[in-house]
């Protein structure tokens, strides 16, 4: 069973990286349904980059392991990032 460990998007401008446990690492990440918050992109390593000005989002993130017969897990995120200001999310 693959479990995605990151629980929420962070509005404070700190680095965000989804991680997963279970299965055979490394895991790759993708959007399986919906859309990331406007202006943000998910990389296959689970990191998020971009700049958002806020707004509602509804996205399902999928983590897939590296086994011969890949397993996956998903987690849905819904919410609203505060509008009216720019939140930089930068992957170092």
Residues in a beta bridge with 89: 50
Under CATH, to which class is 3-89 assigned?
mainly beta
Model confidence pLDDT, tens digit, residues 10-27: 665 556 788 999 999 999
Going 18 to 23 to 25 to 31, the CA torsion angle's sign is negative
* Assigned token pair, 76: 């849905």
Instruction: Give the model's pLDDT for residue 90.
Output: 44
**pLDDT value, residue 61:** 93
pLDDT band at 91 (very low <50, low <70, confident <90, very high): very low
Q: Please state, in angstroms and rounded to a whole number, the distance separating the CA atoms of residues 47 and 55.
A: 20
Q: pLDDT tens for residues 55-90?
A: 888 999 999 999 999 999 999 988 887 655 444 544
Question: Hey, CA dihedral for 76, 72, 20, 5, is it positive or negative?
Answer: positive
Break the chain into its structural domains and give their ranges: 3-89
What does the pLDDT average to over 31-49? 90
């Amino acid at each position: 069973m693959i479990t995605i460990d990151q629980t929420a998007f962070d509005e404070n401008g700190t680095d965000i990286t989804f991680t997963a446990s279970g299965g055979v690492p490394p895991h790759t990440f993708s959007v399986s349904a919906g859309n990331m918050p406007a202006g943000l992109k998910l990389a296959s390593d689970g990191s998020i980059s971009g700049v958002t000005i806020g707004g509602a989002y509804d996205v399902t993130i999928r983590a897939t392991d590296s086994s011969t017969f890949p397993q996956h897990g998903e987690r849905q995120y819904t919410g609203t990032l505060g509008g009216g200001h720019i939140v930089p999310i930068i992957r170092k």
